[in-house]
Structure 1
Amino acid sequence: MAAEPTAKASHGSRVGTSRPPLEVTLLDDYQGVALDMADWSSLPPGTRIQVLREPADNEDELVRCLAGTDVLVVMRERTPLPASVLERLPRLRLITNLGARNAAIDLQACARLGITTCNAAGDPQARGATAETAWALILGWHKRLFASQLALRAGVWQPTLSSRVQGKVLGLVGLGRIGRQMARLGTAFGMEILAWSPHLAPERAAEAGARAVDKTELFDAADVVSLHLVLAPSTEGIVGAADLRRMKGDALLVNTARAGLVQEAALRQVLEQRRIGGAALDAYWQEPLPAGHWLLALDNVMLSPHLGYASTENLRAYYRNALRHIHDWLSGVAIPSMQPDCQ
């Protein structure tokens, strides 16, 4: 778990001279962009900023890397922070999470240890970026863009036929803000829109241009099933073997939400047995997706590395809001705490 060179703040409000310099760690900066996304030099003089781009291999390594950290900026749910880690970080006093929720942080342990926690909001239009990613996968799959590009590079012209989406059925599992945007775009492409979630009212579905159906009908009828639920204890594994077996033989499952919505073993079985057309995925049960993962051996999947939220605009808003929370915390200004019911 290699760290980027430490950056030092050059100006800003002062920390008492009797206290050691403030140490801030930015976790899981995969692209190496965190230091350019906000004005970290506005932190108190002498502040040390550590940027970690690679995930830790184990808890002991993570504790070693965070040993001197006062403030931790975490990228969503990439690195788990259980009590067994938090209890070994005596200097840690603030965790600011980039995103609306983070089930990988033990909030009870934070409260017991006196660690303040908060969420840093992203770009207000970030959910639109997630819908855009879902549609990129849907269109890329139907137009066979990835396979065609590989073939062109190998000197093969038109290796396969594409297919249309107009006139097909889009089934949305979840009709929140992202789901409603998916419905609008699906309607623009001339698709019939079906929707299901555990508590979806027919009137609410109709307002979004969708028809509310039960779960069985959605998986039976849809040519594309796209998942847009929040992962919670009530929705974990909500798409199981029986649902996947109901899908048409050429249907596509799209997941730009959370991998945990789908039972991994069930999806693996239907893909390996080619019982459905395929899957287009942007979220995984383990991230980063490790070399040798079973998905990487299949030719009936389209994969993207969790790009739905990872836009320049969203990360810039994340880091700037995180920095604002750090300034507020240093100044004694109250900041909204993460709540257990957000997990």
Structure 2
Amino acid sequence: MAKPRCVITAELMEPYLSQIKDMCDVTVGGWALEKRLMSEDELIGLLQGAEIFIVEFEQVTARVIDACPDLKLIMCVRGNPVNVDRNACTARGIPLLYTPGRNANSVAEFIVGAMIALIRKIALSYHELRSGRYLGEPKDNIYDVTYRDDMVWSMNDPGANPYIAFKGFEVFGKTFGMVGYGAIGRKLAKILQAMGMRLMAYDPYVPPEELQADGIEPATMEEVFSRSDFVSIQCKVTEETKGLIGAREISLMKPTAYFINTARGVIVDQKALMDALLEKRIAGAVLDVFWEEPLPANHPLLQMDNVLITPHIAGASSDVPVQHSLMIADEIARFVNGESPKRLFNKEIIKS
């Protein structure tokens, strides 16, 4: 029996790519080959005759789907396949698969690292040193040193004492509140509990008993915002979550609390958060996602010392492609063997 033709524009890792090649007649292109996104017309040309399409970043529009009559399966290697037209897939009877939790470890570890980098002023102190502050005079020979028993940094220099300027606090015993308790939350909870933090979470789709079994206090949105030392947004973008966090929620935060968003900017009201930061009504924020990306060069966030911003890299781990490659190879095997998929995104296709 002939192998199904499979087009891959996603980054897939070995040994899983070879496993897929054993099961399918594979063509690799687009982002996977050239690190550029293909246009609609390019995708349509590449997908002619293909039954399976494995995509990561390219926009798979209704026009693309309608122009490729042989497509039987579309697989997106993301936790939320927003770049694929779900309705068009369903209308054609095409299962849309995804890779839930593929970057859960990566994002969870990033949240912990960024949180500590901000509150312990690690990133700020590094920036200040690189900018020339708190340094001694240049030396001809940096290896010509005078040993002292008590080696400290500028302790007697008023206004130039990094020990005071960059003094932070510990997370032990602090309360971490989550909005959304999915794959990332579950990974994150284990790390934070090991660090001695108290956890609470708001997620209307997770039974309180499940949260309690994981050692997490079930809470309302209001309780998470009013009682937490850190509030972390970890929910997916849906019609329900767009604009979920606004001025009312942020106003409940303690003045010593920090806001963390590694989900999506659209979940949070930009002006409400910016006003709270500019007016120092909250202590600071960790932001990896924004309302417009790239962030405009004149955005006020770039001038704030109490904010740690990163360019949407919480999921940028070299281990993430390994995780999604494993899931994709598993789903290809199920497809080839005539089995039902495990990771179906457009579940409404079963009813239709």
TM-score (normalised: structure 2):
0.72
Q: Which residue of 2 aligns with 1:134?
A: 111
Which protein is bigger by CA-based radius of gyration?
2
State how 1:48-127 maps to structure 2 within 5 Å: 48-52=27-31, 53-55=35-37, 61-69=39-47, 70=50, 71-75=52-56, 78-89=57-68, 92-113=71-92, 115-120=94-99, 126-127=103-104
For 1:167, the equivalent position in structure 2 comes to 173
Task: Report whether the alignment pairs 1:24 with 2:24.
Answer: no
Between the aligned partners of 1:342 and 1:257, the Cα distance in structure 2 is: 25
277-286 or 136-145, larger mean C-alpha shift: 277-286
Task: State how far apart, in whole Å, the 2-side matches of 1:220 and 1:180 are.
Answer: 22
- Secondary structure of 2:263's counterpart equals coil
Which SS does the other structure have where 1:280 is aligned?
Answer: strand
TM superposition shift of 1:326 = 4.5
Distance across 1 between alignment mates of 2:6 and 2:96: 16
Are the structure 2 counterparts of residues 335 and 246 from structure 1 closer, same or farther at C-alpha, using a change threshold of 3 Å? Answer: same
Instruction: Give the RMSD, CA atoms, in angstroms.
Output: 3.6
* Other-structure match for 2:302: 297
The match for 1:238 is: 244
- Contact 1:170 1:222 (8 Å CA) reproduced: yes
Q: Give the drift of 1:108.
A: 2.8
- The residue that corresponds to 2:133 in the other structure is 156
User: Cα distance, 1:202 vs. partner?
Assistant: 5.3
Does the alignment pair 1:144 with 2:121?
Answer: yes
Gaps of 5+ in 2: 135-161
Aligned to 2:137: none
Q: Which residue of 2 aligns with 1:9?
A: none
**Which residue of the other structure, out of 197, 205, 209, is the alignment partner of 1:191?**
197
2:265 to 259, 262, 281: 259
* CA displacement 1:108-140 (0-9 Å, x = unmatched): 3124345443235665xx533322111111111
Cα distance in 1 for partners of 2:219, 2:111 equals 21
2:79 and 2:98 in contact (8 A); partners too: yes
8 A contact 2:246–2:269 mirrored in 1: yes
Do the aligned residues in 2 keep the contact of 1:68 with 1:91 (CA within 8 Å)?
no
Who is 1:312 aligned against?
318
Deviations 1:29-83 (A, max 9, x none): 5xxxx46674358358984311322346xxxx333344222343222xx444332
Partner in structure 2 of residue 248 of structure 1: 254
Aligned length, in residue pairs: 311
Q: Is the 8 A contact 1:244 1:267 kept in 2?
A: yes
- Separation (CA, whole Å) in 1 of partners of 2:184 and 2:26: 39
Task: Please tell me the residue identity of whatever aligns with 1:314.
Answer: V
Alignment of 1:225 with 2:231, yes or no, is yes
Give the corresponding residue for 2:17.
Answer: 39
Deviation at 1:278, TM superposition (A): 2.1
